[in-house]
Amino acid sequence: MRSDVRRRVPFAWVIGPLAVLLVAVLIVRWAGGDAGPGAAATRSSPSTSPSPSPTPQRPPACTDGKTLAAARTYGDWSKTLVDTRFRLPATYVPPDLVPVSQAGLSGTVEVRSLVIPDLTALGAAAAAAGAPVDVEAAYRSWADQQSLYERRLQEFGPTGPATRTARPGHSEHQLGTTVDFKTKGALDVSTKWASSRAGAWMQANAWRFGFVLSYPSGQDALTCYPYEPWHFRYFGRVVASIIHASGLTSRQVLWDEERTASP
């Protein structure tokens, strides 16, 4: 429904210039006969921007902080910046969490119900492509993240992997819209996953279903975290298409929203 589409289109002024870029990219692809199935997702124009920004600014350095994200209502799910500096409050518990089994995937972990339709479509498409996926992790509460962080700290020490594990409040998993994927039937997932059949399919196609890779390879300085080929945040198909076409990391786009929303 149209109203749904409008509700899912956030940070219009960022979308404005990125939409222009997207259109240019799609024209080039069409000219080359390679629009791809995801092109349909971009048809509803999000370009109602009143004052487009010429170019997104570089986000701040990845130092530790504890600033509450400016956009942090449950309706802001696609706009909330969560990184080493910006965080969610401990009380942030999405009200509509449901098990991923509702998307036909195994496990009892939960995501927000708004993710289910596209997660269902993604799971079905991956399986049809011979690259079936499952969910390794999804929603994680503040308390869960705190336990995980402390466990890593005890296990590996202050300079070990705990430094790569988000502190409580600083994990995108608390949003309830972020999923760690793995190959169906696998026990775990690693950085080599991207070269597996399921991992490669996800890198190429997840955006078509509204999911964006938060921590791409070699972008640590921008994203604040080392490469995680399994960690995808849901933005909805329109926004994910635009981020994908822009070549920006999701944190750069979210930072543009944060700096304009902050007083």
| Contacts of Zn ion in 180-209 (CB under 5 A) | 180
Residue nearer to Zn ion on the CB measure, 42 or 92:
92
Residue nearer to Zn ion on the CB measure, 69 or 109:
109
Residue nearer to Zn ion on the CB measure, 9 or 148:
148
Q: Tell me the window of 147-155, 174-182, 195-203, 247-255 that interacts with Zn ion (CB under 5 A).
A: 174-182
DSSP line for 159-199: TTGGGGSPPTT--GGGGT-EEEEEETT-S---GGGGGSHHH
Site string for Zn ion, 72-91 (x = CB under 5 A): --------------------
Q: What angle do CA 27, 120, 253 make, to 5 degrees?
A: 45
- Least separation in angstroms between residue 122's CB and Zn ion is 16
Phi, psi (rounded to 5 degrees) for 72: -140, 20
Residue nearer to Zn ion on the CB measure, 8 or 231:
231
The whole-angstrom separation of Cα 194 and Cα 187 is 16
Please report whether residue 231 would count as binding Zn ion according to CB under 5 A: yes
CB count, 10 Å around CB of 247?
Answer: 10
The whole-angstrom separation of Cα 160 and Cα 183 is 27
Residue 80 makes CB contacts below 8 A (sequence gap 6+) with 69, 71, 72, 88, 175, 254
Residue nearer to Zn ion on the CB measure, 79 or 173:
173
- Least separation in angstroms between residue 178's CB and Zn ion is 6
**Residue 121: which of 200, 237, 36 has the closest Cα?**
237
Q: Tell me the window of 124-132, 142-150, 196-204, 230-238 that interacts with Zn ion (CB under 5 A).
A: 230-238
Cα distances from 110 to residues 107, 119, 160, 248, in angstroms, run 9, 12, 29, 28
Q: Tell me the window of 41-49, 99-107, 113-121, 176-184 that interacts with Zn ion (CB under 5 A).
A: 176-184
Residue nearer to Zn ion on the CB measure, 38 or 211:
211
Please report whether residue 233 would count as binding Zn ion according to CB under 5 A: no
Q: Which residue of this chain has its Cβ atom nearest to Zn ion in the complex? A: 231
Please report whether residue 170 would count as binding Zn ion according to CB under 5 A: no
- Least separation in angstroms between residue 228's CB and Zn ion is 6
Residue nearer to Zn ion on the CB measure, 150 or 180:
180
The whole-angstrom separation of Cα 210 and Cα 41 is 9
DSSP helix, strand, coil percent of the chain (3-state; round to 5): 45, 10, 45
Q: Which residues bind Zn ion (CB under 5 A)?
A: 180, 231
